[in-house]
Amino acid sequence: MPTADGTIAGVPVRTYQPGSLPVIVYLHGGGFVLGDLDTHDAQVRRLAAATAATAVAVDYRRAPEHPWPAAVDDAVTVIAHLAADGTPVAVAGDSAGGLIAVLAALRLRGDVALRAQLLVCPNADPTLGLPSVVEKAHGWLLDADDLRRWVAMWLPDDAVRGSADVNALVADLTGLPPAVVVTAEHDPLRDEGDAYARRLADAGVPVVHRREAGLVHNFPSLRDVSPAAAAAEDRFLADAAALLRAR
């Protein structure tokens, strides 16, 4: 697959199969502190291949050196630049990147008509206050203690974590683009992803939501060792492609 590393409006990016439409802006996971263009390269390639779209992976600034809102600022900058000439743009992300994608969509609402949200195991609630964070705290790949530490690096102010500025379970979701939201049964972030999908539906936003049984956080990264993870990612990719075709 043709790729090109470069910058968009000063933000480092990797572009996959440039020249296709629409453009999917991808925000990688990693708890707001980890991950980069290489850790998620294979996942972004599969998304680009499945959708026949151009994918632009954003090497956004990470905590603790760059706390909120730096990552969201970078995502907004890239999306706004790409959409400035009318190019159809969708947002996508996994885990922490899923929240960054949502927050960018919220900030751009009314200015950019995004085509879709494509989210895997999104961290929708920085307060980490829902039951699955306790129920699946340890032993399921993503450790809740690590998650709490990373969120604290990104959002040092406890009061901010529950605000509409950063919390997708509090924000007004009216007018956001249609979504695919996939969660995993054994993920500490399961309940907040499920709740985000319900809130989208309640706000009148079309949403395809699936909770994948038996799987753990960010299961696409396990597809080479788990047929179940591979099948679940294939379902997500098919849903993403169908949504983009419908738009």
- Residues that are catalytic: 95
Q: How far apart are CA 157 and CA 148, in angstroms?
A: 13
Question: What are the percentages of helix, strand and coil residues in the chain, rounded to 5?
Answer: 40, 20, 45
For residues 214 and 183, is the Cβ–Cβ distance under 8 A?
Answer: no
For the sheet with 207-212, list strands across it.
3-8, 11-16, 54-58, 23-27, 89-94, 117-120, 179-184, 207-212
How far apart, in Å, are the Cα atoms of 110 and each of 92, 159, 176?
19, 27, 9
What is the rounded distance in angstroms from the CA atom of residue 229 to the CA atom of residue 7? 32
**Nearest-angstrom CA–CA distance, 146 and 124:** 16
Report in angstroms the alpha-carbon separations of 17 from 53, 126, 189.
Answer: 7, 34, 32
**The residue count for the chain:** 247
- The sign one gets for the Cα dihedral 95, 96, 97, 103 is positive
